[in-house]
Structure 1
Amino acid sequence: MSSDNLQTTARPGQGPILLVVDDDPMVRKILVRGLESLAPAEIIEAEDGQAAQARLLENAVDVVVTDVVMPRMDGLELMKWAQANCPGPLWIILSGLETFDAAIDALHLGAFDYLAKPPEVQRVRVAVRNALDQIELVRDRQRLYAELAESAEQLAEKVEQLEEANRVLEDQAAVIQADLDRAEIIQRALLPQAPPRVSGWCMDTLYRPGSSVGGDFYDAILLDRDHLALVIADAAGHGVAAAMISVLFKTRLHPMGQGGEILGPAQVLQDLNHTLFQTLSAPGTFITAAYVLINLRQGLAQFASAGHTPCVWTSPGGEVRLLQRTGPALGLDAAADYTQSELTIEPGDRLLLYTDGVTDGGAESPDVEQLGQAMCADTAHAELLGPLYESARHGVTGDRDDITLLLLERAEGDSRFDDTPTREQRAETQFSEMQPHLRLGARSGHAFLSISGAATWLCSQSLLDAARDLLRQHGRLTIDLADCENLDSTCLGTLHELVTEHSDVVLLQRVPEKIRRLFDELSMCKVMEHISKSSEDLPDDMQALLSDAVAPDQQGKRILRAHETLAALSEGNREQFAAVVESLRADLARKGQDDDRSGNASGL
């Protein structure tokens, strides 16, 4: 919905009216409680699209926060109906990855914002506040138009005010657009369109997101005739949330100083870390990056790395050197310090920058040593990256991580940037996104449970129930996380409960580094103690476990219990989850009181 066509409904002197539409009562309660801090005049709830129609006709709603998938009438149908019957509100769409296409359709219909499910209250609150700011700005502009019509003598002054209001609207729209995770813009905005032409040097890239959007980023920036900057970055996770972090990284990357001077790699990362630490406040949110500044005439390269995978330098004689990190990942520590190293790139030398999706994919993914061997082989630079990508993705059965490779060689040759997946690769991505999150199997009195993809609170109860059943049947359980992309806080708390409850008979294996970092950040020492140093092959007959439907009150108890578990582990956790625990306890207490009153009434 463009700002020109927006019919504002905000009322001077009153708070806004917000409508929350979701068929899950627990989600509605969490959202309503989170939005109360905005001091609205009223927050209205609706359990589906049809119920929301009546609310919209009865109330002058300013902002609608709605799920996509709901019974009777889904969010997309509701939005289409509202455009014809009550076009005033701004719309914020909540959607899981499985309904990402529907969310994109909603954005094309004019939705103000799109957020991934399960919703993070802070992100929803920011989105609603931005929508209310947008309404207020439009109202200001409409008021200016009215004043211009009333007084022709003040036309020049009012036009200037109108232009200023337009500039404010455009600036805010640009910031919002930079932070939105719209798939059609992510691919176009983040990646360079063509390699720079540099005599005596050539480069190739290959970029493949794990899903429709990705959290990897790369660039090759010709700063002047003599200096080339290479940058590669990998946001925590992949998909929508990681893409948002990559957008922030892109917009905050400044290789030049305010005076036009070229900054060294350590300074560039230092500035990025300072900015991103102030912006990225959610736990487990960070981005790794490597930055290389090359003097093209001398071949002198300065290198710095913020927690990134080792970059690989090779010479024609077979020498291999790993360029290790020179500081922590960006966004974790405001006081982090970054250093830089130097190397000389001679004619025939190669430098490979890559993300961890290359080495941490499947069992057949190349390790760092194999990457060095491949670069030392007598293979043309244009033929190197394709085989490395095929090796990285071969045998991956769960959600695949983003894969990015950037190869620089000091030699004459054509350069090529490849960030367009083939039809087969898109089909592979769609298939991997449909893979089940939980699989289980057993052999010889030993049970196995694997978690793949991004596991959320929706499967936490099924995870706990399945693990307990397996332990009752087989006595021993190994939880495999090789294909696990992320665990939300409810799943993390549930996992800690399970390990603590059965500490003698539960082990974890093949835990990705990003998941280990989550364990460490949340002080989950008990879980880390139960990570096996070795691993066992999973049974051949592993079966998918579909999450059973869980009653809202039971789901609420599970979420509360998981967060109480995490909050008890450290003072930082207690402060982080205090609001969630307090809100869930209050909601469940009210639900219990309602049930008691209902039972007493039935007995009279």
Structure 2
Amino acid sequence: MKRALEKLGCAPVLEAADGIAAQEVLCRHADVALVLTDITMPRMDGLELLRWGREAVPGAVWIVLSGVETFDSAVAAIRLGAFDFLPKSPHSEELAVAVRNALERRQLLAERERLYLELQRKVHELEQTSEALRRDLQRAEVIQRALLPHSPPPMEGYCIQAVYRPGQHVGGDLYDVVRLGERHLAFYLADATGHGVTSAMLSVLFKQRLVLVDATSGLPLSPAAVLDAVNRSICEAHAAPGLFLTAVFGLLDTSNASLTVASAGHPPVLHLRAGRETRLVRRTGPALGLAHDAQYHEEHLQIAAGDRILLYTDGLVPSGTERDLHRLQQVLAEQRSSVQDILAQLHDAAQGAERDDVTVLLLDAHAGASWFDNGAEGRAAAASRAPRTEQDVVFYGEADEAAWLALRGRATWMQSDVFHETGQAVLAAQRPLVLDLSACEFMDSTCLGTVHELVARGGVTLVGVAPGVHALFEELSMGDVLATVRRDAPAAPELYAIGAGSSQAAVQQRILQAHEALSSLSTRNREEFRDVVESLRGDQQAGGGHG
């Protein structure tokens, strides 16, 4: 048998007189590819050896040798996991086929295992990438909302309402209402093509290139001039095909109640005139970013008391048919119909799972309360309906005067990265930030250091600091943090949970930076956190800066 195997190219071929001896050989050579064993042997038979070997040498393939009198035992061996059995003594051709098939099976099993492990690795990488993208989009949403107006400007004899709802975390819709001097009120809506990050970046480019006032005279530019200038600027900034925006711009002169409107490929503006037929202001020029030499015209409207002006993006009436426009006019004409009523009757009823971005702006020619709803509460309400877990620690919300971040329960290094990055995004957008610690029972040193880093940037106020957390601030000489604590906390907006999911490298870097920040505050802190900082720095250097 040994000589036959060697002729087949198997080398080296190891021998053992019985099951016990085979155990010793296999323990010394765990990489054995193929085991041929008789069933009847002294001290330990082939079946017992097989039972042991399936656990001890899982990479080996087994073939049993059986005589007529042990045929039933050979069948039992197959049930135990043997690949094949051969009658004693096998012909060379039988042996060659069985050995070749057994080794091929072993190779296939090894390849399957390799592919399975590779698939697991790829799935893990995709999960990490997906989580990183989700967190990036979540933080991009924070930044994009900071570009939207939060408080309506003062206006006598008029009130304005606006609702903004992105279809995803970020969207391509953008709006603003700006007071220009004592007489003029400028407002606009823009809608970038597509959805998600691409459209959001295009809308940011639009806002960046928008100029409302003549640099020489200081007077408001006409709507046509505004659209003409921003169109040329966008065309010069990119030449990518298929990227464009629609926009509508209005300039209201409150001294004589005249409104000038220019529309760059945007859905019709509705002018509901009290007691008269509704007027539609259709596009007065092409969409922005399509043609460098595009020309824009203007429509002039006279606003009477009780009139209503409605601007909206195409997410409100995606089809844009005359029938839908007529339905929109009916809803607008309904007495006391608000922007939220319009959204509920048209957008929410028509949209399915794939929701489009939608923004609606309503100007009423009468005194009343003005407000902007940028969707933070709506998203918070949706989040509040989702199942909450005990791991929810970091929460976010928007108020008119500031963005809010809250830590609840026990805040540790596991939430520090998402807490830090969200706070940094708010401050980078130059929005005031309120840190609500009213429900925070405990903060570890990483979270404490992160709070110090955020406060050091400026624009941060702490509210609801419990005595235990306040004592930690005092113990670690966090004087700058203590100076920002307010006792008279304003009412918090509704907050929604932000999930943690940072990579190991990001968390490790966050822990190091937080402890470095604490170490810089006092000699006592430096001594207390020295070992932690040195250990983290050593780990980072050993890993080449990667986790």
Please, what TM-score do these two structures have when normalized by structure 2? 0.45
Q: Which has the larger radius of gyration?
A: 2
